Structure formats: structure tokens, C-alpha cells
Structure 1
């Protein structure tokens, strides 16, 4: 986690939001990216990504359907000295079952919590839309461990990042579909089914996808 509460470079607050996306312009923040079957990068194959920021300065998102393997949330709390090992059995239910995901290939040693908007830390939490926020400080982990955190949350290690214009180019070259965000897709515990569900959400049969660009 970031002790300073700073989010990655593309996610920078400004007086009128962040970046220059306040007037629209086709930016993807607050939407889901769904990898096309022709995605040539194995790091993003069959990935569903929630876009946290997108502007002329670049883009940043969190992969929401890739488990972090053997890493579990209670063990991570012990590793970060947030709780004692003996206290793992005393954790609230949502902390015990909280998902730890591989959020992307950038900054994999940092943690980013995507969560419902019922939790907010001044100068640390980024409101992405009405329902979803991003917090990257250890304070949110402490709150979750105490049972005072958000109702819904996932912890992602690392994030996906794009340089200015890179994501637009990938979409143009048929790398991604995109659709409205769905909190159930973001926070649901059925990680293995999220890719298929995301495609079905926009009415697409995975077997019918071609190399042609598309969006919803």
C-alpha cells in the first residue's frame, strides 16, 4: 500500500476532477474493459478491467478477474503488521473472505482497494463514480480488519497502466470491448466466471467474436 496515499501517475486530482475528461471525450474511466480473444498480450488475456482513470495523460485500471494465487487477505494483514497472527480468527466475515487479485503488471508490490462508496478517507480516496471508489493507503485495510470498512471491496496487487493515447490505439486495433460498469462483476466472488459474464452483459457469445472492433 502507499503510506502517502498517492495513486499512480494517471490518477491525479485536479480542480475540475482529474485529467481533462470532465467533458466526456470518449474516456473510459468508470467503465469495464473486456479483452478480445485476439488479445496478444498474455498479461491481459481474458481479462476484465475496471477503469479508474482515463484522460489525455494516460489511463489506469484494475483487473478484477485474476486471483493472486496463494495470497489471502488475513495472511496479508499479518504480513503488514496490521493484526497479530493469532487474531486472524477474530476478523469480520467480509475481511476473512475478501478477495486478493492481481490488479495488473505495474507496481505489483503495491495494493489498491476498489470499494463501494460507503467508505471515504479524506485526501486518500478517489471517487471514480457514484458507486465505486479507489483507496491506496493502509488505513482502509485497518478499517476492514476492524469491521469499519466499506461494505464491498477487493484488494488488487498492482495495476494496468497505459501511456497517453495507448489505450485508444489498442481499442482502435480491436484489443478491447467496453461496457458500463457492474458492481456485481467488480466485487462478485465468482472470479472465474467474470469474463464470460461480462461478455454476456453486452449480449456477446464468446464463440461468435471475430477480429472486428466492437463496443457497447
Structure 2
């Protein structure tokens, strides 16, 4: 048996992968989204939308609201809407040069997820994570729900790309994710056009 190639996707557990919404998604909250899948098991799935900035909320303003004060000013980046669940709670995707033993969930070998104030303090410190983004809320699925959406062609699954996550502008992430696998939006519309 030949070894699996790096493009093969095990759709059983998708932690550490990216989901790209297709026109079949049927939910405006997820239209043209790209999601970093942080956790996936038979019981649940959880991910962070990485390309939906919050209206008029940037990281320095949020740091001020939360009383995060450090030697470095917060990067002037948008706060993202990470999903419809727990939107009053912050989730930070970051490189794993920062890690909290009790609070960081390893997403991939190079990316972690932390949802405690400690990571915000680290971002404002002299030793911040090399790359990070903050989202309010997350996308969550119950047992079997994501698998049903995958079967209905609502999502494309690709390998996690750190450059896409941290270095691509929010407005360009969906198109860039499709470009990584050579799929055009027109092709997606044609595939999802039948009822």
C-alpha cells in the first residue's frame, strides 16, 4: 500500500485543518468563511473563523476595554468574529512560541489556541507570540453535525496554511484558500447549483 500523500485528507477528525465554506453552506453567518479547525472528535467539533472582522473593533481598543497593559502596544489589527457561539469570549490563535501548559490547545505543530487573559498579557509583553489573531466566539458543531455538512458539500477541507492564517488580509483569505487547491469560485457555484 502506498503511503498517504500530504494532500490526502482524513475527514474523520479535522483538528488542525482548514474548512472553506462553499455556496452550499446555506447559512449567511458562514458565507465565504475560512475556519481553522481547533478540535474535532466523535462528540463535537470546534473552530475559529479567521476572515470575518468585527465592525469597528480593533485590538488596541479591546486591550483598553480589558485593562491589558504592557510594554508593547497591541498590534493595530481587527478583532475577528470567530463564530456564533460564546461571542463574549475571546480566543487567540497564535504561534506555539507562546504556550500555557494548562490553557493552550495544540491545533497543529506550529499553532495553538488559548482563551485566557494570559495570552493577551503575553501579546503586550516583551516576548509576544510571533504571530497571533484574536477572535470573539467560535464555530461549534454537535455529534455528527459537521459530518452531515461535509456530506452535503458545504465545506472543502484543506491542510492548515500558517501564511494564510496570519499573513493574508481578511478580505482575501477565502479566495486565497481556494487558490491553494486550484478551485475557482465559479466552479463551486456550478457544483452547488443543483437542488
Question: Within 5 A, what are the aligned runs for 1:61-210?
Answer: 61-83=47-69, 91-92=72-73, 95-209=74-188, 210=190
- For 2:65 and 2:11, how far apart are their aligned partners in 1? 43
Aligned-residue offset at 1:175 = 0.6
TM-score normalized with structure 2 length: 0.88
Question: Within 5 A, what are the aligned runs for 1:51-62?
Answer: 51-62=37-48
Unmatched 5+ residue regions in structure 2?
1-9
- For 1:42 and 1:111, how far apart are their aligned partners in 2? 22
Q: Is the 8 A contact 2:89 2:137 kept in 1?
A: yes
Q: Is the 8 A contact 2:91 2:115 kept in 1?
A: yes
Aligned length, in residue pairs: 182
Q: Partner residue of 1:10?
A: none
- For 1:45 and 1:174, how far apart are their aligned partners in 2? 14
Larger strand proportion, structure 1 or 2?
2
For the aligned residues, what is the CA RMSD?
A: 1.6
Q: Is the 8 A contact 2:57 2:78 kept in 1?
A: no
- For 1:205 and 1:183, how far apart are their aligned partners in 2? 21
Unmatched 5+ residue regions in structure 1?
1-23
Q: Is the 8 A contact 2:48 2:138 kept in 1?
A: yes
Q: Is the 8 A contact 2:133 2:166 kept in 1?
A: yes
- For 1:176 and 1:76, how far apart are their aligned partners in 2? 31
TM-score normalized with structure 1 length: 0.80
Q: Deviations along 1:151-171, whole A, 9 cap, x unmatched?
A: 000000000000000000000
Aligned-residue offset at 1:105 = 0.3
Structure 1 residues 183 and 99: CA distance shift in structure 2, 3 A: farther
Q: Partner residue of 1:38?
A: 24
- For 1:195 and 1:59, how far apart are their aligned partners in 2? 21
Q: Deviations along 1:135-159, whole A, 9 cap, x unmatched?
A: 0000110111123220000000000
Q: Is the 8 A contact 1:59 1:162 kept in 2?
A: yes
SS where residue 211 of structure 1 aligns? helix
